[in-house]
Amino acid sequence: MEDQWRGLLYPARLPTFHRLLPPDALRDRLRWVWIPEWDLAPGKVSRQEVLPFPALNLVVQPEGVSLSGPATRRSFRDLAGRGWAVGMLLRPAAVPGFTDDPGSLRDAEIPFHAPDLHAAVTVAMSSGAANNDDDGACCRERAAAAVAEWLAARVPLPTAEAEAANRLEDLIQSDRELTRVDQAADQLGVSVRTLQRLARRFVGLPPLAMIRRYRLQEATERLRDNTELSIADVAADLGYADHAHLANAFREVLGFTPSGYRHSASQE
């Protein structure tokens, strides 16, 4: 899948990780289902560091269900023992089904009451955690089908405004030369104020923050996977004014420099 590792800062650390596409009829509300599984030796801890997508995630784990809001910085989770998670990366159009104010969930994770969803996913995953074999694949597929069925029943078809929010996300994701909000407004044929309203209601981050997040994800991927490409070239290709502007973005959101990240990723 394209974007299989997008947002994952150190993919080599992942014990097992899958992203599964939803049914076609649900792609306007669900981008994909993501499923990490792990079975680590006693005393071993695997730190998973992520530069999250500018979106909301609904996550099912053995201990319950949680809703994560849009993040403004990198996040991490330490994995130990044996376990799994089944997450839904929500499209903007799905957000009103969970909150009227996604901005209030910035950098937050809250419990979400969905016992039927939790039960269905737990049953699906109970015999396949930390497996890469056919049985594990079947469990993941059943879990993905369970969350898709639950989401389809809970979140209605998008309104025209919700579809516009999806188009904004699609444009920002696909057009890697896009660096300004007015460029996005021009391409979508709406005003900057309209884009700001859509982003506030359906994402919880300003549209400029969405643009910068996708560009920064692209930068980390290029720095990690193409060591022959200079940092200055990465900055230029992605619309940063120069190396220094990319470095400032890295420090602000990730807490380290592009060169520091490239070095640490090469050690994994």
pLDDT digits (tens, 9 = 90+) for 158-200: 999 999 999 999 999 999 889 999 999 999 999 999 999 999 9
Q: Is the pLDDT of residue 10 over 80?
A: yes
- The share of the chain scoring above pLDDT 90, in percent, equals 85
Domain spans of the chain, in order of start: 11-154, 160-266
The larger pLDDT score, comparing residue 65 to residue 3, is at 65
What pLDDT does residue 134 have?
59
CATH class (in words) of the domain with range 160-266? mainly alpha
**DSSP codes, 15-63:** SEEEEEPPPGGGTTTEEEEEEEEEEPPTT-EEEEEE---SS-EEEEETT
Q: What does the pLDDT average to over 127-156?
A: 82
pLDDT at residue 130, rounded to an integer: 44
Cα(45)–Cα(63) distance, integer angstroms: 19
Query: Residue 207: which residues within 8 A CB-CB, separation 6 or more?
Result: 168, 172, 181, 184, 195, 196, 198, 199
Residue 131: pLDDT band with limits 50, 70, 90: very low
Q: Over 70: is that where the pLDDT of 115 sits?
A: yes
Average pLDDT over residues 85-112: 98
C-alpha span between 29 and 22 (Å, rounded): 9
More confident residue, 245 or 241: 245
Q: What does residue 152 show for φ and ψ, rounded to 5 degrees?
A: -60, -35
pLDDT at 132 exceeding the cut of 70: no
